[in-house]
Structures are given as C-alpha cells and as structure tokens.
Amino acid sequence: MPELFGRSYSRSELLRRIGRLDQVAGVRLLTMGDGGARGVRVLEFRTGSGFTFDVVVDRAFDIGRCELRGVSLAWTSAVGVEGPWYYEPEGLGFFRTFGGGLLTTCGIDHALFMAEDTAAQYHYPPKQTETFGLHGRVSNRPARLVGYGERWDGDTCTLWAEGETLQASVFGEQLVLRRRIEAVGGESRLRIHDVIENVGHDVTPHMLLYHVNVGFPVVDEGSELVVTASGVTARGDHPVEGYRAMVAPEAGYVEQVFEHDLVADGDGKASAAVVNRRLGVGVYEVFHRAQLPHHFVWRTLGEGTYVVGIEPSTNRTAGRLDARERGELIELAAGESRTYDLELGALDGADEIDVFAARVAGVNGVRLSG
C-alpha cells in the first residue's frame, strides 16, 4: 500500500488496524435522490490519500465531483448532475445537461461543433444525411454497470469499476464504450482505459474528445497552464499572448479556445495541467499522443462559468467535416475497435507542482509562447 497518514503499511499491517477496508478507502454505489439527478447512480471512490471522486454511472461512466482533502478540483456548472432521461440532442442542446464534473466524454460518433454529414452508409433511403449536435450523444447515455470493488495484489490495493455504454440506432450507428476506471489506494490519481467498438455491421465514423474541466479554487487569478507543446494557435478572434495565465472572473467574458501542437515524451505521452501555486494544488492529465493527437484549452473565465478545460481529442477543433475533407475522420469497420488511455490526478504541494512543471519543460525543450 502506498503511503497512508504519513507512513507505508503492508496489507497485513493495515488490515490489523481496521475492521473493513472502507474505513480508509473503497468504492460504494449510491443513488441520487432529488431534483434533476433523481435516480442517477454514482460510484464514490476514496483512495485514502484524501483524493475522492464520483463515477456517474448513468452518464457514460464520466467523472463528476472530484476533491483532494475537501478542496474541489473539478468545475460544476449551473446545471449540476442531470439524469440522461432529459436531453436536447440538436444544436447546442448539449449545454442543457452539461453539468461539468472532472470529465465529460464527447463522442463517440461525433464531437465538437454541429454538423450535417452523410448517413448513406446505413442503407436507409429516407435518411441520406444526419444532423449532429454539439459534442454528440454519449455523455447522455446511461452505462450498464459491469462491476466494481477492490483488488489486492500483494500489498497494493486497486479500486476499480467497469461499465459499458451503448449508443445505437436502427439504421444508424451501433457503438459501445467499454470503460474501466482504476485508482490505487494511497494515491491521488485515477486511470481510465476505454475501448470503443463498432458492434454493428456498417462502417461508422468515430470521434472522441475528453472534456476535462478544472474549476475554482484550482482555477483562480494567478493560476497557470503547463503543457507539453511546441506551439499554440487561437481558434477565434482572441490573442495567444498570456493564454496560460488565469485571471479573476470577468463580466461578459466570451469563451476562448486554443489548439496546441503537442509534444510527446520518450514514452509517447503528452501532459497538461492547471496549477495554483499560491494554494499548492493542481490538476493534471497524461495521455498517448498516438491515440489522441490533438489538444485544446477551453478558457472560460466568466462570472459563474469559471472553468478551464484541458481537452485531448482525436480531431482538430475544426470538427467533423474538416476531418472528412482532410482524410482524418476515423471510420470503424464492423467489429473494429479503438483503445484510449487517460490518467487524471492531483498535484499536491509545491514540490509535486515543480516536478511536473520541470518534466513538461524538459519535454518541450523550449519555452512555449504565451
């Protein structure tokens, strides 16, 4: 077992001191009982380090609330947790159920802005095209809970959960997202392993974006972004200069989006974090550039909607039709699948922030402008 309460314990040493593991760490299944969240199942993870997070089973196994010793790491929108039984799929309807949380999965046949694209591959004459709303449907689909619990391997205890989210239509896509989430007892991080498979019979487009949402107090005036990238481009009419430095909430703020030229380390992994050095806390992500070659920053520093999104993606911000024109739109044949791995965690204290920032600087080799 990694360090707990200032010292390391073997399995036998720890179990001599407690009646059940969930005295210090564990996973439990809860059901929310009121408002728009009524009936939503949640798996609550506690690693024992003070790192806690919720897996929202009925919203594609996404990550909701996340805290480190009571300090919130994730952004919560004005919507909060909303059950998937209320959903507006067209246009910008995504925002009606976008509760924030640490992770919202966007996809899995469409992500990014709205588009109308061919549906001829589904061989149904009345459906020659299909209209896609912002960020697709998957985050509004409930998962089938496959299992959850704790597993000991020697003196290491791994907390885990698995779920399957099906997105399917008659004369349409038939895709399944199989997700496994793990967190090691005593650590302040989680790992996500996703497999997305075409379980239908027709070639189907596939897009994926991990909308990682960092909020107050990690995001605050003076907080900063660190990322393994060699360059950055503004996607809109706003300057790049100063984009890595956060400001206090501003009235009437208009969102800003930036796209990175990713750099990977020797293991092929890219990294990003938002850090608050004054508080000594940060939120980081690590992912494989080969799996997710694009990365965006969603900088929304307005009143109430005060959030920084650090977002790995299969596609550029220009979206679906641009990807098709470039020959970059992924199309999964029947039975074909894609695998993705994402690590999310907390940076606890000045030393961990400095180590992470130094590693990013070493990968970059040069200072990233802005």
Cβ atoms of 279 and 48 closer than 8 Å:
no
Amino acid at 95: F
Nearest to 346 by CA among 80, 52, 76, 7: 52
pLDDT for res 230: 96
Each residue's pLDDT, cut to its tens digit, for the chain (370 residues) gives 668 988 999 999 999 999 999 999 999 999 999 999 999 999 999 999 999 999 999 999 999 999 999 999 999 999 999 999 988 989 999 999 999 999 999 999 999 999 999 999 999 999 999 999 999 999 999 999 999 999 999 999 999 999 999 999 999 999 999 999 999 999 999 999 999 999 999 999 999 999 999 999 999 999 999 999 999 999 999 999 999 999 999 999 999 999 999 999 999 999 999 999 999 999 999 999 999 999 999 999 999 999 999 999 999 999 999 999 999 999 999 999 999 999 999 999 999 999 999 999 999 985 455 5
Which whole-number Å values give the CA distances from 33 to 78, 86, 99, in the listed order? 18, 16, 17
Task: Give the phi and the psi of residue 229 in degrees, each rounded to 5.
Answer: -155, 150
DSSP states of 161-199: EEEEEEEE-TTS-EEEEEEEEEEETT-SEEEEEEEEEE-
Whole-angstrom distance, CA of residue 338 vs CA of residue 326: 20
Torsion on CA atoms 344, 349, 352, 355, rounded to nearest 10: 130
Q: Provide the pLDDT for residue 124.
A: 97
- What confidence score (pLDDT) does residue 2 get? 66
Residues 194 and 291: their CA atoms lie apart, in Å, by 11
Residues in contact with 345: Cβ distance below 8 Å, sequence separation at least 6, in sequence order: 51, 187, 188, 189, 190, 283, 284
Residue 356's alpha-carbon distances to 50, 190, 258, in angstroms, are 20, 17, 21
User: Domains in the chain, start-ordered, CATH in brackets?
Assistant: 11-364 (2.70.98.10)
Task: Report the DSSP beta bridge partners of residue 263.
Answer: none
Q: Are 40 and 56 in contact (CB under 8 A)?
A: yes
d(CA 79, CA 1): 38
Helix (H, G, I), strand (E, B) or coil at 346: strand
pTM (predicted TM-score)? 0.96
Q: What is the predicted pLDDT for the residue at 3?
A: 81
Q: Which residues contact 261 (CB under 8 A, 6 or more apart)?
A: 229, 230, 231, 232, 233
